Structure 1
């Protein structure tokens, strides 16, 4: 599940006439950077709202099913729950559409580390010294792989795996964070470290540092 429905308020004025997911970084739409990270077998959903028809046109003929949230944004949790008829029984790989990556694909790192016996959720994190423009959530990583908020020296990359069972407790508009906090309290939210570099791209001024990172590492 790739999340691409937001208004992209922080990315204005670039999002006045396009969705944030179609803002270009290093010659490619942010959405294409995200899709590259989750490519693989199984169903694929992308949600859309702001300039949704542009996302539909961009993905036309490809494997992704675009789910347009017509009347109001559902946020990440509500968007994922809305996509379950497409995605199936789960667990689901989730991906934010506002970052660029260097190193192994996020899906490969997550699925290799996934242990459903111990985990209800697994988030892909990166140490602060390999993260650019990090403004999203941050966590610490315990020795057993569990995430903690007591220390916050790893940035959340926007990619993860979640079991979908817990979504039943929520309705309407809600964030995936609401689900993660329950997992964290139960000791069932884990982290795995992305072995490469990562850059968040949430503002216009983030684009140049992200492109410089990719140019330096490629």
Structure 2
């Protein structure tokens, strides 16, 4: 599941006529950096809402199923709304406003996933390995691999999550944070760390920062 429905208001003028996932970074639409990690999956779904036409056409060419949201449902609500399109108990979800420096993000989660004890597994990166990130850390990981709020680990926007954990939320529109908080109380949310580096492209300066980081790492 690729989250593509947001209005991208932090991008200001850049999203007046263009949905955020279609903003170009180093000559490529931002959404393509997320898609590069999801080419191993047969079923790929993206939710759309704001200025969806160009994004839906772009994704259709790449074999991605889109589901239009007349009203914004946020990340948790968006996944719940699309849940019938997936087979299996758990799915990978990914935000589409980041650029990754390094490979193996999906494999890192897949190898650490243990459905017997986990309802969600979030991929994090240490604050020191981020570019363009304006905030502090999001989580800390304890000795058992469970994550808790606070600490120097930043959520990269990639996770594995069981669909039942999302369906348990009665609301129609809700953030994934609501699911995570419920799972934290149950001790069912875990974290893994990404070995590479990660660029936050959720704001205008993030584009230049990401392009510079890509060039430094020989990716452009």
Shorter chain as denominator, the TM-score bin is over 0.9
**Shift in Å, 1:135:** 4.1
Partner of 1:100: 99
CA displacement 1:86-132 (0-9 Å, x = unmatched): 12233010000000001124222111111111211000000011011
2:126 corresponds to which residue? 127
Q: How many pairs are equivalent?
A: 216
Residue 147 of structure 1 aligns with which residue?
147
Q: Identify the residue that residue 198 of structure 1 maps to in structure 2.
A: 198
Report if the CA contact (8 A) 2:121-2:192 is conserved. yes
> Deviation string for 1:169-210 (max 9, x for gaps)?
223101111111111111111110011000110111111111
Q: Deviations over 1:26-65 (max 9, x none)?
A: 1111100011122213311001001111111112232210
Residue 78 in 1 paired to residue 77 in 2? yes
Match of 1:36 in 2: 36
TM score, norm. by length of structure 1: 0.94
The unaligned stretches of length 5 or more in structure 2 are none
TM-score (norm 2): 0.94
CA deviation map 1:6-33 (0-9, x unaligned) = 0000011100001000011111111000
Partner of residue 187, structure 1: 187
SS in 2 for 1:119: coil
**For the residues of structure 1 that align with 2:194 and 2:48, how far apart are their CA atoms?**
27
Moved more, 180-189 or 130-139: 130-139
Secondary structure in 1 matching 2:61: coil
Give the Cα separation in 2 of the matches to 1:213 and 1:16. 26
Instruction: Spell out the pairing of 1:45-60 with structure 2 (5 A cutoff).
Output: 45-60=45-60
CA distance in structure 2 between the aligned counterparts of 1:128 and 1:62, rounded to whole angstroms: 32
* Aligned counterpart, 1:64: 64
Range with greater deviation from structure 2 (103-112 or 121-130): 103-112
Match of 2:10 in 1: 10
Kept in 1, the 8 Å contact 2:132–2:205? The answer is no
Aligned-partner SS, 2:116: coil
| Structure 1, unpaired ranges of 5+ | none
SS of the aligned residue for 2:13 comes to coil
CA contact (8 A) 1:96 1:158 kept: yes
Q: Is the 8 A contact 2:4 2:96 kept in 1?
A: yes
With over 3 angstroms needed to count, the CA separation of the structure-2 counterparts of 1:105 and 1:51, relative to structure 1, is farther
